[in-house]
Structure formats: C-alpha cells, structure tokens
Structure 1
Amino acid sequence: MNAAATRYSPPRRQARGRPTASALFRRITLINGLVFTTGLTVLALSPATVSSPVLLTELPILAAGLALMLAANAYLLRRSLAPLSALTTLMERVDLLRPRTRIAQDGSGDLGAVIATFNAMLDRLEAERSASAAHALAVQEAERQRIARELHDEIGQSLTVVLLGLKRTLDRAPAELREELSTAQETVRASLDEVRRIARRLRPGVLEDLGLMAAMNQLAGELTDVSGVPVKRRFEPRLPGLGGEAELVIYRIAQEGLTNIARHARATAAELSLTAGDGTVLLRIADNGRGGPIEEGTGIRGMRERAMLIGADLTVDARPGHGTEVRLSVPLPAGEASS
C-alpha cells in the first residue's frame, strides 16, 4: 500500500467542517424557535388569561407551560445531539491496533457529516498505520535475515574452524590436558548449536523450504527442548492457501506466543493448533500457567501490528490461575474462501 496515497489532508477537512458547524447552529436555533413559537401560539389560542400583576391562581398554569416548553426543548435537543455521545465514547477507546471500530450512520442529519468525517479520518489513520507498520516489519525481516546469514556464515564458520582445531589438538595433546581441551570442545560445540538455533529463529528457513506445518512443528519442538513444557499439537492436514505474507505472520505470532510461555507462564503444558473453518484460519496458543493481567508490552503490540497487516483479529485472554490463550483469526483470500 502506498502511504502517500492515504496522506492526511487538513485543508480539505477543515473546509468541510465549517458548513457542518453552521448547519448544527441552525438546527439548534430552529428547535428553540419552534418550541417557543408553539408555546406562544398555544398560549394565544387558549382561553387562559394572564393578569397584571400575575395572580397566584395563574402561577400554576404559567409554570406548567414553561415546564412543557423546557421538556420539549430538552427532548428535541437530546435526540439531535445523541450521536455526539457515541462519538465521544469512541474517541476515548479508539485504538489503531484494534481497527474497524466505527459509528453507524443512521440518518443523524447534520451530525451525520461529522460522523462520516470521523469514520473517514479513522480509515486514513488506519491505512497510514498499516502502511508504516508494513514498511517497518519488512525492514525488520530483512535485518533479521541479514543477521541470520552473518551468524551462520561468519560466526558459525569461525566456531566450526575452532572446533576442528580443538579436535586436532585434542588428538595430539598429552593426557593431562585432554580433559580441559575436551571441556573447551564441548563448550564451543554448544555455542555453535546456540548460534545455529538463533539463526533459525531469525530466519525461518524451514518455513520457506518445507512449509507452515513443518515450521509450526519445529517451534513446538523447540519450546519443549528449551523449557521442558510438552506441547499438544493439532494441525489440520490440508489448510487452504494463505500466501507467503499471511504464513509469515502466523509463524511470527506463534513464535512470540510460545516464547512468552517459555519465559513468563510457568506452565506445565501448552497447546498449539492451526485449523480452518467459516472462511478463516484459526491459530490458537494456550497454556496452563499462571495467567494474570495482560501487560501489552513490545511483544503483544508487535503481534497486533502483524495481525493488522493481513486484516486478522488477535485476542489475548489471560485469567489468573487459568493460563493464557492467544487466538489469531486470519481471513482467507477471496478465491480460497469461496472454494
């Protein structure tokens, strides 16, 4: 998406705002004029009379008439300005990471233009946010691939050379040094394995080479290897085609969710599922850990930004003592959804 195509244009919107304000002023003036004209007409045509000075018996009639006029005026103004309350509520809770929240236009008269302008503003802001996030995440993925290549090609090869050198030295070393050299050899081998594991996380080659299911299985296996938490897996064997971008988003969100389980959940079991139905593909990551209040830090915000890129819905539910559940609902492409 071209960010320049959705750039905010203040002069055009300001020019449209002035007629709307004038129309609202005319509407309020008309309502007040109508109420007072009606009250005056009723008073003129009714048999009631007002003395000068006003008699005590006439005060209830005047008070009742004034009360009716004020009540009618308040009712009409409340109905006319009711959309402003919904607009204020939406302004208070709007979040660009939770898009598609809009106010329904139900023929609100002059305020309908205000609502339409606000909805259009949200459309532009969400489009700009989506374009900016897409660019930032594309740069991030490119940087991850560069770092992964350097880890594999530079540091990995250097550690391999050191490992081979230690092996040759160990073969010729005296007996009293072999134990220390063997320890150093195992340390270098463990470091090499860690470098390769980090490179795989940065650049999911298995996703590119073997597909989404193999990549998800690898993520589940890594969680068990690193933290000892067993992962129950449920993958639908034949998922509809999602496209490379959507598969990468699913992979990264599953990766982040499983990483959070290993770091924070204190769980003894986890679930990872990927199923299809009702025009969507559903990713579910759950654990039986401590749960608790959700702190929307960098990890969860990054997940929401990725979900926004492909128009997916992300929900995170964490109940104290009952674990955490992450659900990502990815809409299928038009051709796949109809097939």
Structure 2
Amino acid sequence: MPLFWRIFLLNAVVLICATALLLGPVTVSSPVLLTEAAVLTAGLAAMLVANAVLLRIGLAPLQRLTRAMTAIDLLRPGARPVVAGHGEVAELITTFNSMLDRLETERATSAARALSAQEAERHRIAQELHDEVGQTLTAVLLELKRVADHAPPALGADLHRVQETTRAGLDEIRRIARRLRPGVLEDLGLVSALKALAIEFTRPGLAVRHRIDTDLPPLSRDVELVLYRVAQESLTNAARHAGARRVDLTLRRTPAGVELVIRDDGRGIDGAPEGAGISGMRERALLIGATLSLAPGPDAGTEVRLTVPAHRRSH
C-alpha cells in the first residue's frame, strides 16, 4: 500500500474512533463540565500519541535511509542501507542502492582511466628527465671537469663547488625519475622494489625496516604497482608530515591473499581530513578490489593496511 494511503487510513481510523466515542458514551454539555474536559483532553492526548507512534513506525525506514545517505563514501564501497518498509519506502531504498552500484562502477571505471593516464604521464616525464635533463647535466659535469683540469688553482676550488652542486642536482633528478617510474619494479620485481624503497627513505633521523615474505603468490602487474605506490605514498607521508623516526614495512602472505602494512611512530592522524595522497591510495585500492584502512598504530603513530584478496592473484 502506498505511504500516503497508509498514513491517511491510520489517521482516519483514529478520527473515526474519536467521533464514535463522541456520538456514543462520551458527550459534551454546555458549559463543559470538568470531567468532560478531562475526558476530551485525555482523548486528544491519546490521539496525538497514537498518531506520533504510527508516523514514527511508518517513517523509520526513511530516517535510516537519510543517515545512510549522509554516511555513504564512494571510496569505501559496499555499505548499503537495508531494504525495509513497504511500498514507496522499500522502492526508494532499492532505487538508492541501485544508484550506488552505478556510481561505484562509474567511479571505478573513471578512476582506472585517470590513474592509467597518470602512470603514462609519469613514465613520460621520468623518461624525459633521464634522457634530456640527466644527459645534459652529465655533459655539464664532464665539461666542468675538463675546465677545472686546466683552470688556475684559485679558480679550481670554485669550479669544484659548482661540480658538486651539479652532481647533487643530477642525483636528485635521478631520484625523482625513479619515484616517477619505478624501473626496479619492472626489472627486478616487487620484493626488490620495496627493499630499494625502504633503503631510499632511510636517512639520519628516520629508520625504515622491512619484513617481506619470500613465498608471496604470483601477483599481476596492476597489483604490484598498487602495492608499490601505496608503500611509496605511506613512506612519503611518514617522512614529510608525520615526523616519524621509525617506520616498519611488512608484506606478508595471508590465507585471504596478501597484506601490506606500513606502521610509523609519528604524530598520527588525530582526526585530520584525508588529503589527496590518501584519497589516491583509496582509488588505487579500489582498482584491484583491495581494502585500505588507516588507523592509529599500537604504539601511537599511524598504521596503513592494504589487504588484497586472493582472487586478485594473477595466473
């Protein structure tokens, strides 16, 4: 029965009962007696309470749907309000769930295209940095060395400082290119790439320890890239924003698939809104059907956990 008719009939029943009582045992005289006023007041109160209870019961599914609509996050898919109620209410909840299914599918498709284009752009920029800027700075270093060999001693010291500055810039460009395009991931695999990543982020004041299982199942290139990018973003956040002094990186095999855990001893999340880096990690996790969670670590700090289900293994 439609919601309108249910509410209308419930109210009609209450009003018919009240009218029947007034026409029957309940009468009103003029002037109104105290007992009659008490009876009418009690009847009115009963009608209002009954009306409120009936409306509360009838509209409760809509209130639950409103709360669900407020809490829905497309980066955390799967949550759906329970289909309850009758008529239009159940139809409305079912339609809302169908809309969420379409939105999540469309978002996953668009995110896949965007991230694919992003990886291609990173590859292009890294290639240009390596081939153009890197080779140019290498040629500058060789020329500086040639000039320094023939320069007077007083000028040689200045040229040596310029050489060191140029060499430091070349090393930084190579480091940026490696981050943009993880060649070690393509050439040596995920385990070696994660170990190299841990070594790269280890510096004075920050120790990165890693524990990686040797019996990992075969993983597709997409899964390996997502695992690497999540680890890279997590280490970057720990080093730049969390003020961490120790980071533990763990990749292990689980009965459900594989699990990546990055745990630091930094300042923690503290209810701060998620930035573009974390949103990007969630987008990548959705692409491979993985689950990403961020929570306070056991000893303060932040724990990032990426769980990849077994059906995402490659064959």
| Alignment map for 1:50-89 (pairs within 5 Å) | 50-53=27-30, 55-89=33-67
How much does 1:40 deviate? 5.0
Q: 1:97 maps to which residue? A: 75
> Which of 16, 25, 31 in structure 1 is aligned with 2:10?
31
Q: 1:261 maps to which residue? A: 238
How much does 1:255 deviate? 0.6
Over 3 Å counting, the alpha-carbon distance change for 1:32 and 1:242 in structure 2 is farther
The CA distance in 1 between the partners of 2:28 and 2:294, in whole Å, is 72
Residue 267 of structure 2 aligns to a residue whose secondary structure is coil
Of the structure 1 ranges 144-153 and 306-315, higher mean CA displacement relative to structure 2 is found in 306-315
| Alignment map for 1:1-339 (pairs within 5 Å) | 23-38=2-17, 40=19, 43=21, 48-53=25-30, 55-225=33-203, 228-293=205-270, 294-318=272-296, 322-333=300-311
Q: With the length of structure 2 as denominator, give the TM-score of the two structures.
A: 0.88
Question: 2:132 is aligned with what amino acid?
Answer: E
Q: Which runs of 5+ in 1 are unaligned?
A: 1-21
Question: 2:3 is aligned with what amino acid?
Answer: L
Over 3 Å counting, the alpha-carbon distance change for 1:278 and 1:73 in structure 2 is farther
Over 3 Å counting, the alpha-carbon distance change for 1:276 and 1:27 in structure 2 is farther
The CA distance in 2 between the partners of 1:64 and 1:199, in whole Å, is 80
Over 3 Å counting, the alpha-carbon distance change for 1:335 and 1:237 in structure 2 is closer
Over 3 Å counting, the alpha-carbon distance change for 1:217 and 1:106 in structure 2 is same
Question: 1:259 is aligned with what amino acid?
Answer: T
Of the structure 1 ranges 233-242 and 259-268, higher mean CA displacement relative to structure 2 is found in 233-242
Deviations 1:138-157 (A, max 9, x none): 11111100000001111111
Over 3 Å counting, the alpha-carbon distance change for 1:108 and 1:209 in structure 2 is farther
Aligned residue pairs, count: 312
Q: With the length of structure 1 as denominator, give the TM-score of the two structures.
A: 0.82
Alpha-carbon contact 1:266-1:289 (below 8 Å) kept: yes
Residue 232 of structure 1 aligns to a residue whose secondary structure is strand
Question: 1:235 is aligned with what amino acid?
Answer: I
Alpha-carbon contact 2:208-2:248 (below 8 Å) kept: yes
Alpha-carbon contact 2:261-2:303 (below 8 Å) kept: yes
The CA distance in 1 between the partners of 2:29 and 2:83, in whole Å, is 51
Alpha-carbon contact 1:242-1:332 (below 8 Å) kept: no
Question: 2:9 is aligned with what amino acid?
Answer: L
Over 3 Å counting, the alpha-carbon distance change for 1:178 and 1:51 in structure 2 is closer
Of the structure 1 ranges 132-141 and 196-205, higher mean CA displacement relative to structure 2 is found in 132-141
Residue 150 of structure 1 aligns to a residue whose secondary structure is helix
Of the structure 1 ranges 203-212 and 236-245, higher mean CA displacement relative to structure 2 is found in 236-245
Deviations 1:47-69 (A, max 9, x none): x3425445433444444444333
Residue 275 of structure 1 aligns to a residue whose secondary structure is strand
Question: 2:71 is aligned with what amino acid?
Answer: R
Q: Which runs of 5+ in 2 are unaligned?
A: none
Deviations 1:181-239 (A, max 9, x none): 333322222222211111110001111111111111111111104x5411121212222
User: What is the RMSD of the two structures over their aligned residues, measured on CA atoms?
Assistant: 2.7
Over 3 Å counting, the alpha-carbon distance change for 1:335 and 1:301 in structure 2 is closer
